[in-house]
């Protein structure tokens, strides 16, 4: 009986550790996209440098649901199609960037340079994870 309890306790710890989502100070991070313009954007994609996710179409003055990234940065590559043209923020250099860490964040997006098809973004901290 003395040997059963330690073995059972160890098994429960292993099972619990395997079923929980891995969390680190750097993530996970829930990201959503908010279109703050008068235009509808098609095929909005966010690439954090670690992962890429297609949020789909985002209508004018609307936002997507959250998507969980293992790690995300304040600067991410955002692309979308508008009037048949591809717009992008470009690929940021996150070599020395600090991750957004655990939480819920919104990337607000808009066209900053229409002739050159450049997007600008702003990061808004929404809430801690779990809220």
Nearest to 87 by CA among 116, 49, 56, 57: 116
Q: Where are the domains of the chain?
A: 24-127
CATH superfamily of 24-127: Domain of unknown function DUF5300 (2.60.40.2890)
Predicted TM-score (pTM) of the model is: 0.81
d(CA 108, CA 40) in angstroms, rounded, equals 14
pLDDT digits 0-9 by tens, 63-100: 999 999 999 999 999 999 999 999 999 999 999 999 99
d(CA 74, CA 41) in angstroms, rounded, equals 21
pLDDT digits 0-9 by tens, 13-41: 555 455 445 677 788 999 999 999 999 99
Distances (CA, A) of 5 to 2, 8, 10, 11: 6, 5, 9, 10
């Amino acid at each position: 009986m003395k040997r059963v309890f330690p073995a059972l306790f160890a098994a429960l710890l292993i099972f619990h550790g395997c079923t929980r989502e891995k969390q680190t100070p750097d993530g996970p991070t829930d990201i959503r996209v908010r279109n703050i313009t008068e235009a509808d954007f098609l095929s909005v994609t966010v690439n954090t440098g670690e992962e890429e996710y297609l949020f789909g179409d985002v209508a004018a003055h609307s936002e997507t649901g959250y998507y969980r990234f293992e790690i995300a940065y304040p600067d991410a590559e955002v692309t979308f199609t508008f009037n048949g043209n591809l717009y992008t923020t470009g690929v940021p250099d996150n070599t020395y960037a600090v991750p957004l860490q655990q939480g819920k964040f919104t990337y607000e997006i808009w066209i900053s340079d229409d002739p050159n098809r450049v997007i600008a973004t702003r990061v808004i901290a929404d809430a801690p994870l779990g809220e």
